[in-house]
Amino acid sequence: MLINSFLAIIDLHGAGILHTNISEPNMLVERADNAQGILVGFELAILEQRSSRDDESRRGSTAGSQNDAAGTDGSRESSPSDAMYRAASNAITPHVAFLALDRCSDRPPVHRFRHELESFVWTFFFLLSCFRNGRRIVNPVVEKWYTVHGI
């Protein structure tokens, strides 16, 4: 069932959209025999800012670009639009328990597709740890993810 949500994340990336809030509350499962996973909660979704390198690879070129000053991890801002994108991606803190680890810092990097993947895996482990036979349980180990933060 989680595969549907994972495929949705990939499809969104293909369409240039980042959900930015991949988390347990936003991954629903239908109550049906052939239950499907549903990704919801797009309030924080942003348009993905692709680096020049991404664009080059999409065009099938192996040549790098001199304009790729921001790098694929967005660690450096190279233009006003980069700064605006960074501000948008950090505007609201999503569920901290599911955040990619390098986003749990005082100066988090710009949100990228790989952060979505990491959040998905944290959500997977949260589900394994905090649900038994469809019911939410309290797991003291995982509860620390909510209370012990580095922001």
Which residues are near another protein by CB under 8 A? 2-3, 6-7, 10, 73, 96, 100-102, 104, 113-114, 117-118, 120-122, 124-125, 127-129, 131-133, 139, 141-142, 144-145, 148-150
DSSP string, 111-130: P-HHHHHHHHHHHHHHHHHH
Measured CA to CA, the distance from residue 150 to residue 43 in angstroms comes to 24
Measured CA to CA, the distance from residue 98 to residue 134 in angstroms comes to 20
Q: Which of 140, 117, 136, 119 is nearest to 127 (CA)?
A: 136
Name the residue nearer to another protein (CB basis): 15 or 141: 141
- Minimum Å gap between C-beta 49 and another protein is 18
Name the residue nearer to another protein (CB basis): 70 or 100: 100
Name the residue nearer to another protein (CB basis): 17 or 142: 142
CA distances 109 to 12, 102, 113, Å, are: 20, 7, 12
- Minimum Å gap between C-beta 6 and another protein is 6
Name the residue nearer to another protein (CB basis): 79 or 114: 114
Coil, helix or strand for 19?
coil
The first and second tokens of residue 108, run together, are 């988090």
Cβ 101 vs Cβ 125: under 8 Å: no
Name the residue nearer to another protein (CB basis): 44 or 104: 104
